[in-house]
Amino acid sequence: MEALGGEAAAAQLDELYAAAKESGQTSVTIYGPGETDKAAMYEIFSERFPGITVNPVYILGPDLTAKLEAEFASGQHVGDLIQNGDAGIAGNLLADQLEPFKPVLAGELDEVAYGEPTGAAWAATAATFGFAYNTNLLSEDEAPATWDDLLDPALKGQMTSDNMTRNGAGMGTLSHVMWDGRLGDSWLSDFAAQDITFQASTPAAGAAVATGEFAVQPAYPMAFYLRDRASGAPVNWVLPEDGVHLSPHYVALLKGGPNSDAAKLLMAWLFTPEAQQASAELGYYPLLPGEAGPNGLPPADELDLLKPISLTDVLEVHAKNLAEVKAAFGE
């Protein structure tokens, strides 16, 4: 019972499991950019609920948009759930592709930070961003620990990232820092003056740090770092001390999904302590209060988090900040 979050949550799961079995639903297809990482977590779900498997499909950006548009236009639905970042989910909401559903445990969330007013999307976990650095090039004392540390003249020309003037991990990180506002108006221009080299993707930037071509990746997901470390790369990773950027991964039912009962079951399970800690082991931050963070980090509600961006504001905020980032980097 404790692993499932208490009596009310367990009762909801039992009801949904019975409904899925009665309707003959044996699988759930979930789309999103982090799904490749989560296969081990979904195995725990299938052990908990025998007879129901999860089909995680790694897909993002324009490819995901095109796939959903095709399914909705044809009426031939394959996807049951989507798990995506804030801007992606906001786009799904605008396209009227989501079906409201509220897991019992989602009621414990800060709805402004991790919910949506109509109940169509809830964030169970978040991608955890920090500073990755090459341990052959920087000692622990030399590595940046704060956003202001990234302005150290010694790091000029030593940092790399995905293209921060395009929508992606780097831009999302800068947008959140700018929205928070605590670093002041000049921070962005000072950061852009650090001669940061852009790579084709976030993994490519991580590889450039791992090989020692660059010293620091300032917007690197913890899940990527854990994989790099497991492969023996000489890298370490730091959670900023002065405002943590967590990128919520919202989960939502897709309208017309062929396995709606099984999809609701999976969605509800993602908020249980069992699933929260399984996510943490993969480097994703659990968002329910009191749930320990990944790699020994404290619960999210104990962190000094950057100010949240609500789903109702996120597209406008990112568009405004993207224009400012492009100007700062001379585009």
Residue 308 has pLDDT above 80, yes or no: yes
pLDDT at residue 37 in the model: 83
- Give me the domains of the chain, ranges plus CATH numbers: 2-126+247-301 (3.40.190.10), 127-245+314-328 (3.40.190.10)
Residue 7's pLDDT band, with cuts at 50, 70 and 90, is very high
Q: How many CB atoms lie within 10 A of CB 310?
A: 16
CA distance 11 to 127: 29
- AA identity, residue 34: G
Give whole-number Cα distances, 154 to 149, 188, 189, 195, 223, in Å: 10, 18, 17, 12, 27
Q: Which of the two residues, 34 and 301, has the higher pLDDT score?
A: 301
Name the DSSP letter for residue 123. E
Residue 16 has pLDDT above 90, yes or no: yes
CA distance 84 to 61: 10
List pLDDT tens digits, range 179-197: 999 999 899 999 999 999 9
Compute the radius of gyration of the chain from its Cα atoms.
Answer: 20
pLDDT at residue 112 in the model: 87
List pLDDT tens digits, range 160-179: 999 999 998 999 999 999 99
Residue 324's pLDDT band, with cuts at 50, 70 and 90, is very high
Q: What are phi and psi of 106, to 5 degrees?
A: -65, -20
List pLDDT tens digits, range 104-135: 999 999 988 999 989 999 999 999 899 999 99
